[in-house]
A and B are shown apart, each in its own frame.
Chain A
Amino acid sequence: MNLTLYVWRQKNADDKGRMEKYEARDINHHMSFLEMLDVVNEGLIQQGTEPIAFDHDCREGICGTCSLMINGRAHGPEMATTVCQLHMRHFKDGDTIYIEPWRARAFPVLKDLVVDRSAFDRIMQAGGFVSINAGGAPDANALPIAKKDADTAMDAAACIGCGACVASCKNASAMLFVAAKVSQFASLPQGHAERKQRVEKMVAQMDREGFGNCTNYYECEAACPKEISVKFIAMMNREYLMATVTR
């Protein structure tokens, strides 16, 4: 299949950047979207042109590194799919595809389609952990956890921190990411001790990073490759309110 690509090209963080047109020829429909870009880049390298920079790592949908806005959708048109798991069979011969980086003040573009997501790391550093006195590993069943709580925590922990929630949110809000992390810890007994400080610190850091505010569009939930539910945002709001009221 042959495709026309419009790709965001930007030399570095200071460059203004622009959309550039590329033709992708003889693309196999079994390829992943990233493999399609690899083919385009091979061609660019042969022409002596700078290849398109994009983030990728595991290419099996679990690391959260790939991050492309494809035709206005984070991770492309398929639900619950990262770009690396998006296959070209979901496109038609002759399609025009717009490829852009995540857009948010808190995610500055470093080069082409690569953005700096270390704002997420700083939010995690603010409270996304459990402080423990590390000793010998406890017995697996020493701390009983209800199935329901374990399931809730696991659903929240499915977040791979890719930033699709921020990219797809009309307000560039990071609420789904922060909510998933806060809820994951709040659902488990190990996380209870620090839950109040945790939610306050993580929300404060989120605000400091310059993310937008949540206005309940729920677009994040639809874009999330791990299908994190917006119920976690409600859970975080509850955590935050409880922390504020009982401070």
Chain B
Amino acid sequence: MTTSQSSVSFTTASVGKKVLMAITGILLIGFLIVHLIGNLQLFVGQEQLNKYAETLQSLGALKWGFRLFMLILAVVHVWKGVVLWLENQRARPVGYRREDTIQASLSSRTMIYTGLLILAFVVYHLLHFTVIATNPEYAQLKDSMGRMDVYSMVITGFSNYFIAAVYLIAMFLLAYHLSHAAESFFQTMGWANEKYLPKLKFLSNVFAIIIFLGYASMPIAVLLNYVTLPGGGF
């Protein structure tokens, strides 16, 4: 073994693709945590949430830079995920008549489906609350200081049972995806061993439940009238 005859580059090699999935995935998880902390300001009140939203919107180039970065992460994660899935389909052209599963979790076996459903949700979510295309009436919501009234927008949005249900289902799928994803990150990066892997699996599930409860708390609080529109809404 003198010179390297390896013609397969890192990003197309099986292990390299997985590392790309893992790194983009963990950065997307980082976004989920930051996004959740930001959103939970709904429980502080209208002033706090609207001020936060206004601050984010005022970041200008930084905001667009961040959005571009998130878009790249999402594109790489989805693209490599689909490529891996297609290759895996091709790796077994003739399947088994009888196939059993010993320990592969359902979440690990449904990553492509939960992943694509989450992608569909992200598109809807952006159209709903960011572009405000699905419910254009939100754009007229302004608070007393003339800012975009994100607080009222969220409450109005989640007051619709159908929309709240879509968000809750999506958050369940997200959590299900994460329960395998978070643990998988450590295995793929090579930071797991037989001692840590069971603990990582457990912590991965705990993390997924925290993310679900955190995000689900908002539509649930609205549906239970725990957070309500200031002065009766629009």
Residues in A lying within 8 Å of B, measured CB to CB = 6, 8, 19, 69, 71-73, 98, 100, 103-106, 109, 127, 131, 168, 170-173, 175, 194, 197-198, 200-201, 203-204, 206-208, 210-219, 221-223, 229-231, 233-241, 244, 247
8 contacts between A and B (CB under 8 A): A109-B94, A172-B88, A197-B4, A207-B14, A211-B91, A213-B84, A215-B18, A215-B84
The interface on chain B, measured as residues whose beta carbon lies within 8 A of the other chain's beta carbons, has a size of: 49
Interface string of B170-185 (1 = CB under 8 A from A): 0000000000100110
Best-buried of B4, B6, B87, B197 by chain A (most CB within 10 Å): B6
Interface string of B45-85 (1 = CB under 8 A from A): 00000000000000000000000000000000000000010
Q: A171-B88, A231-B193 are in contact. Are A72 and B96 (CB under 8 A)?
A: yes
Residues from chain A with Cβ under 8 Å of B15 in the complex? 203, 236-237, 240-241
Interface membership of B31, Cβ < 8 A: no
Report the minimum CB–CB distance from A190 to chain B (whole Å): 14
Q: Are A237 and B91 in contact (CB under 8 A)?
A: no
Q: Tell me the complex Cα distance, A231–B13, Å.
A: 20
Instruction: Point out the residues of chain A lying under 8 angstroms from B103, CB to CB.
Output: 217-219, 221-222
- CB of B207 to closest CB in A, whole Å: 16
Instruction: Give the one of A106, A175, A201, A240 with max B CB within 10 A.
Output: A240
Residues on A with C-beta less than 8 A from B190 are: 234-241
Interface residues of B in 98-145 (CB under 8 A from A): 98-105, 108-109, 111
Evaluate contact between B197 and A217: CB separation under 8 angstroms: no
Instruction: Tell whether, in the assembled complex, residue A234 and residue B187 are in contact, meaning their CB atoms are under 8 Å apart.
Output: yes
- Complex CA–CA separation, A240 to B190 (angstroms): 9
A231 near B184 (CB under 8 angstroms)?
no
Is A234 a contact of B193 with CB atoms below 8 Å? yes
- B41 part of interface (Cβ distance < 8 Å): no
